[in-house]
Structure 1
Amino acid sequence: MEITGRLTADAVTRMVSGDRKVTGFRLVVNDSYMSGGEKKEVATFVECSYWLGTGIAPYLKKGGVVQVCGRIGVNAWISNDGEAKGSITMHVSDIKMFSASAGAPASNSRPLMIEDKADENGDLPF
């Protein structure tokens, strides 16, 4: 499943099960609809976990827009007050960043350019 949303806070990397690390972050997906001529706003929150590396964490800053792909799940529980609670979770396998927040680290790298090489004997390709 793919979800596009805005990061609600900076991503956090934490240690689990000894030496394993996971990057956690929360997305909000905003939507709206009309009901009786009145516009209604809906915000859906998704708790995400990314197990494939921690190097992306510094780039996942509050306010950034990302698209995540992965396996969706749901958690349900009863709070201490006896109220039923639930949350949507996503085990993320792919992340695409569409915009970074103002606090994201700047990238000094340039896009990789691949050029066609001339033949080994020095002839030009045209």
Structure 2
Amino acid sequence: MNIIGRLTRDAEVRTLSNKKQVVNFSIATNDNYRNKQGERIEQTTFFDCSYWITSKVAELLTKGTLVELMGRVYTRAWIGKDGEAHAGLNFHTSKIKIHSISKTKPEKETTSKEPKSNQNDKDDDLPF
């Protein structure tokens, strides 16, 4: 199955007791349609995703990034600490294709040993 959506939070890498690592992240997919009355209905579905192949991908999976995932979906149900029943959709990801990376985080500055100079600051032969 393929799904396309945006990450709702930054990916997290978890190390299990057997030293295996898993990348956990969440995406939201949007679908819209018109009902019988002609009203436009937008539906958002959230998936909790896991990726077991390599943890290096986690640094690219930041909130807002648009991804296409291949894998299988399954449901999960549990009783919370509050005694309430909960359910969720999980996606066991086998392949990730990044369509666009989020620009919400500031870019890393490159360090240089030479001071930054502006082209206009350089000496030239112009009288002004």
Q: Report the TM range for the smaller structure's normalisation.
A: 0.7 to 0.9
> Offset at 1:78?
3.0
Unaligned runs of 5+ residues in structure 2 are 109-128
Residue 94 of structure 1 corresponds to which residue in structure 2? 95
Q: Which amino acid aligns with 1:72?
A: V
Residue 30 of structure 1 corresponds to which residue in structure 2? 30
Query: In the alignment, does 2:3 pair up with 1:3?
Result: yes
Larger radius of gyration: 2
Give the alignment's TM-score, normalised by structure 2: 0.75
Query: In the alignment, does 2:57 pair up with 1:44?
Result: no
Unaligned runs of 5+ residues in structure 1 are 107-126
In structure 1, distance between residues paired with 2:19 and 2:106: 27
> Offset at 1:95?
0.2
In structure 1, distance between residues paired with 2:86 and 2:40: 26
In structure 2, distance between residues paired with 1:37 and 1:45: 25
Identity across aligned pairs (percent)?
42
In structure 2, distance between residues paired with 1:68 and 1:104: 26
In structure 1, distance between residues paired with 2:69 and 2:57: 13
In structure 2, distance between residues paired with 1:38 and 1:88: 27
Residue 118 of structure 1 corresponds to which residue in structure 2? none
What's the secondary structure of 1:55's corresponding residue? helix
In structure 2, distance between residues paired with 1:32 and 1:52: 33
Paired residues of 1:59 and 1:104 also in contact (CA < 8 A): no
Residue 15 of structure 1 corresponds to which residue in structure 2? 15
> Offset at 1:81?
4.7
Paired residues of 1:60 and 1:104 also in contact (CA < 8 A): no
Alignment of 1:98-113 (within 5 A): 98-102=99-103, 103=105
More helix by percentage:
2
Q: Which amino acid aligns with 2:60?
A: Y
In structure 2, distance between residues paired with 1:88 and 1:76: 9
Distance change in 2, residues 1:54/1:42 (3 Å): same
Residue 117 of structure 2 corresponds to which residue in structure 1? none
Provide Cα deviations, 1:31-81, integer angstroms capped at 9, x if missing partner.
112222322221100110000001110000100100111121110123345
